[in-house]
Chains A and B, each alone.
Chain A
């Protein structure tokens, strides 16, 4: 069920992906949504999850992902948990209560945006 929701969500995002500015603007929403569904995740897991859901169409690079994660943490939307896994330390991210509220807001904003864009794209502007 969760996978299906994420798939629909990321496929909708993908429509916007051809423009890199729109992609950058949607990255935080993708991260927040994934963490809302999966409770806690680490960086590499997020990149792989998005890749798997979109069948390799969408590839989030570490250069984009980690700064976004750190910014969300600095804003108090994410909290960090460090655990020792397979001979190394792993940093897990999870939503704070503020992050949960922000996820709902961001998803609502995005849904509205997609709806408006669909109306614009499908309407006969002339």
Chain B
């Protein structure tokens, strides 16, 4: 016996309310729970769906939540690898070289005190604007949340915060040592490039696999 659309929706809502917020993780769990319940019914369990579901959850809920955390860790590893690959790709190195050269040449001709704060705070400001737009868009349009896209934001947010702290604590060094400033600016630009490229790849990945499934 197969579960009805309403019963599947019930499992989905329950898991979503249990903090399994990402659709790509949840859909697999919904299928697992539903398959297990269907098997129990096929094996002769005559009880109502809700009692079978309750029994399953009492026994397995903590395991499912633990599984959710492990999935997020796997997503982070996947993202870090993708970012690393993009940064070391031909275009990544090109972005780094152009940014590095531009900042270095600019700092020779213009007093670096003028533009150091802008260069170092630009990535974190850009990232905060991106995050606000993303979450407002998700809430306003009620879009599904995907784990890898959000973990990508989390990973990059950590990097950008690091740049920001560097800019606060080592401001004097950065103003005097133009080569260090150019290196940091080059690195933050290539990271922004990797963030944009991996984000595009992730969106395409999810579109191909999830959104157009009929």
Interface of B, secondary structure class, is: helix
Known: A42-B31, A43-B32, A44-B36. A86 touches B2 (CB 8 A): yes
A61–B36 Cα distance when bound, in Å, is 12
Interface residues on A, range: 20 to 34
Residue of B nearest to A45 (CB): B35
Which residue of B3, B8, B74 is within 8 Å of A71 (Cβ)?
Answer: B74
A89–B27 Cα distance when bound, in Å, is 6
Q: Is B58 an interface residue (CB 8 A)?
A: no
A93 CB to nearest chain B CB (Å): 10
**In the complex, how many residue pairs between chain A and chain B have their CB atoms under 8 Å apart?**
77
Q: Provide the residues of chain B in CB contact with A113, threshold 8 Å.
A: none
A63–B71 Cα distance when bound, in Å, is 10
Interface residues on B, range: 20 to 34
Q: Is B213 an interface residue (CB 8 A)?
A: yes
A44–B38 Cα distance when bound, in Å, is 12
Contact B78 A63, beta carbon cutoff 8 Å: no
Q: Is A56 an interface residue (CB 8 A)?
A: no
Which stretch, A9-17, A24-32, A76-84, A102-110, touches the partner chain B?
A: A76-84
Q: Provide the residues of chain B in CB contact with A45, threshold 8 Å.
A: 35
A66–B2 Cα distance when bound, in Å, is 23
Q: Is A87 an interface residue (CB 8 A)?
A: yes
Question: A-facing mask of B56-70, CB < 8 A → 1, else 0?
Answer: 000010011011001
Q: A43-B32, A62-B67 are in contact. List 13 more A-B contacts (CB 8 A).
A: A42-B31, A48-B39, A63-B66, A66-B67, A66-B70, A74-B78, A81-B209, A82-B210, A84-B214, A88-B30, A89-B30, A89-B213, A91-B28
5 contacts between A and B (CB under 8 A): A61-B63, A63-B67, A73-B74, A87-B2, A91-B31
Contact residues of B with A, CB < 8 Å?
2-5, 8, 27-32, 34-36, 38-39, 60, 63-64, 66-67, 70-71, 73-75, 77-78, 81, 209-210, 213-214
